[in-house]
């Protein structure tokens, strides 16, 4: 079994397969795709730990909205982020939308919580779900792929417009984009258009994927001093490193203000 820190999360080749397969490895449970590439990784002794760096980077949404009431996630996989949010954000309700019923069928193997009053897994198309959420979400996490990479319905201008409309006044969208995807600049341009430029792009902690934070409300302009205090508090609460995302946000604001060379 490779070192978890060396695994980079989904790649274009990972996304080309759709049938999930569970593999027992020493100390880990792996969700593989039917071409042999991995999709999710769970440490058996710590099933709620975020093993892959790109998932830890995506948790940076808390810098923009530390106390979300309703989190929606497109893409279940092995449920790493849903499990973390369910355990750590006790005042948040979580809806996960997964289009593949075979992935959902494996939820118990990966310790994904059963449906209850604040946690639900829905089998359906994430784009259809988002279109029905008008100002209903505080956080929207988009991490969905099909056999060719980014699912086409999850990267259109119409979809990103709907994402903006689905968020409340202080909402944030987080998108995992494959670094090797030839359409990445097009997707980023569409997101910036939908969110009027309030967008920060952060390299994943452990791979070439890009994690995109698109924000409504004033949080993107949080002063550096307040952002530093928030970063330290969140790191203590979640046991994760948020400094990487905070630094990218600070650089983004300085670039907008013309303070960087």
- Hey, what are 171's tokens? 């909402």
DSSP 8-state symbol, 181: -
- Specify the residue for token string 């909402």: 171
Question: Annotated catalytic sites, by residue?
Answer: 143
Determine the pLDDT at residue 13. 38
CA dihedral 99, 103, 108, 110 (to 10 degrees): -110
Rounded distance between C-alpha atoms, residue 57 and residue 88, angstroms: 16
Length in residues, the chain = 261
Sign (positive or negative) of CA dihedral 197, 71, 18, 33? positive
Query: DSSP assignment of 191-253, as one string?
Result: HHHHTTT-EEEEE-SSSS-EEEEEE-SGGGG--HHHHHHHHHHHHHHHS---HHHHHHHHHHH
Domain boundaries, the chain: 50-257
Walking along the chain (261 residues) 10 residues at a time, the average pLDDT comes out as 42 50 88 69 89 93 96 95 95 96 94 96 96 96 77 94 97 92 94 97 87 94 93 93 93 70 44
How is domain 50-257 classified at the architecture level of CATH? 3-Layer(aba) Sandwich (3.40)
Determine the pLDDT at residue 3. 46
Q: pLDDT tens digits for 184-220?
A: 999 999 999 999 999 999 998 877 889 999 999 999 9
């Amino acid at each position: 079994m490779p070192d978890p820190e060396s695994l980079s999360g989904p790649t274009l080749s990972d996304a080309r397969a759709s049938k999930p397969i569970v593999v027992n490895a020493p100390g880990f449970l792996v969700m593989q795709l039917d071409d042999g590439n991995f999709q999710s990784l769970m440490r058996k002794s710590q099933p709620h730990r975020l093993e892959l760096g790109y998932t830890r980077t995506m948790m940076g949404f808390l810098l923009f909205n530390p106390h979300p009431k309703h989190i929606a996630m497109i893409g279940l996989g092995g449920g790493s982020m849903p499990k973390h949010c369910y355990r750590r954000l006790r005042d948040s309700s979580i809806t996960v939308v997964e289009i593949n019923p075979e992935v959902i069928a494996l939820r118990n193997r990966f310790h994904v919580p059963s449906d209850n009053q604040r946690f639900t897994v829905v089998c359906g198309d994430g784009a259809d779900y988002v279109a029905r959420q008008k100002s209903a979400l505080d956080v929207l996490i988009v991490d969905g792929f099909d056999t060719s990479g980014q699912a086409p319905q999850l990267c259109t201008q119409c979809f990103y417009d709907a994402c903006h409309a689905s968020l409340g006044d202080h909402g944030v969208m987080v998108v995992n984009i494959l670094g090797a995807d030839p359409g990445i600049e097009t997707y980023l341009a569409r997101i910036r258009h939908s969110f009027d430029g309030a967008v920060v792009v952060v390299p994943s902690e452990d791979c070439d994927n890009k994690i995109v934070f698109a924000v409504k409300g004033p949080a993107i302009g949080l002063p550096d001093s307040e952002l530093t205090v928030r970063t330290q508090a969140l790191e203590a609460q979640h046991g994760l490193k948020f400094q990487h995302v905070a630094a990218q946000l600070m650089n983004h604001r300085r670039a907008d203000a013309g303070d960087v060379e």
